[in-house]
Structure 1
């Protein structure tokens, strides 16, 4: 089965490419998630994978270390191979702020996602629209500045 690469890009000191196999080397979290899907109603799934925050932190986002609040201007854009995309603020998953357990799922309902690629999972979301299957790119952007 082919490995699907996820490109980590943007304002990172260590941009990289990761596969599901790479993501399996990170501590895995489990989440039982229920969300509404516009086309098929309420869905219930079990996901396993590392925290998005941990993976992106290892890629060294370009925060200004002298300004703790600098992280608040960073956005994370997640793009699926099918064209589906979502944008999150860095603060949503940062333990100092929102601390949401956003996952880069490596399994869904105990089925490995090796060939399909990881899935973005936001357990706190009532709607499943920000769950992105087959992630192709995650881009970190620190260009947002209030009043700029």
Structure 2
């Protein structure tokens, strides 16, 4: 009887260990990660806490149904600046051929020219939003979404952003 109890204890201990490892794996996979890479001097891999700690901006913008919402998040310019992207006074000549490719979890991709994102060239803030009207973005839309205020069509309001890559057209 003692040997059988010992085997059961080992068996249940093994099951409990597998369950804990599985739970840790699911939690690690569930943690949103955003990468900023390409022609940058400091590629970034950011967790949700990293983005939450960055300075946030707010923009009001109309969604595809014409309803105005207040979005909060990090400007794409600030993310690119942190990654060491060519911006500001260096954004001239061949550097003007650089662009940003934003990719979503479902494979959708959109492009922005660097001057569109740089306050020395453009007056609007293009945002990597993590909340709308004071609440986290809904599943399937977030955890991150690019918001482009004042565009006639929100086709570049890419949902579920996973990566941002800086490239050159030539």
TM-score (structure 1 length as normaliser) = 0.82
Encode CA deviations 1:83-102: one digit per residue, 9 max, x unaligned: 22210000001111123201
The CA RMSD measured in Å over matched residues stands at: 2.4
What pairs with 1:35-50 in structure 2 (closer than 5 Å)? 35-36=63-64, 41-50=65-74
The worse-fitting range, judged by mean Cα deviation, of 18-27 and 129-138 is 18-27
1:32 alignment counterpart: 60
1:21 aligned onto 2:21:
no
1:69 alignment counterpart: 92
Question: Mind listing any 5+ residue stretches in structure 2 that lack a counterpart?
Answer: 1-26
Encode CA deviations 1:126-147: one digit per residue, 9 max, x unaligned: 2111111110110011x224xx
Question: Mind listing any 5+ residue stretches in structure 1 that lack a counterpart?
Answer: none
2:169 alignment counterpart: 144
What pairs with 1:6-17 in structure 2 (closer than 5 Å)? 6-17=34-45
Higher helix share: 2
Cα distance, 1:65 vs. partner? Answer: 9.6
Greater RCO (CA < 8 Å, at least 6 residues apart): 1
1:121 aligned onto 2:147:
yes
Higher strand share: 1
Contact kept? 1:20, 1:114, Cα under 8 Å: no
The structure with the largest alpha-carbon Rg is 2
Aligned mates of 2:96, 2:110 — CA distance in 1: 17
Number of equivalenced pairs: 139
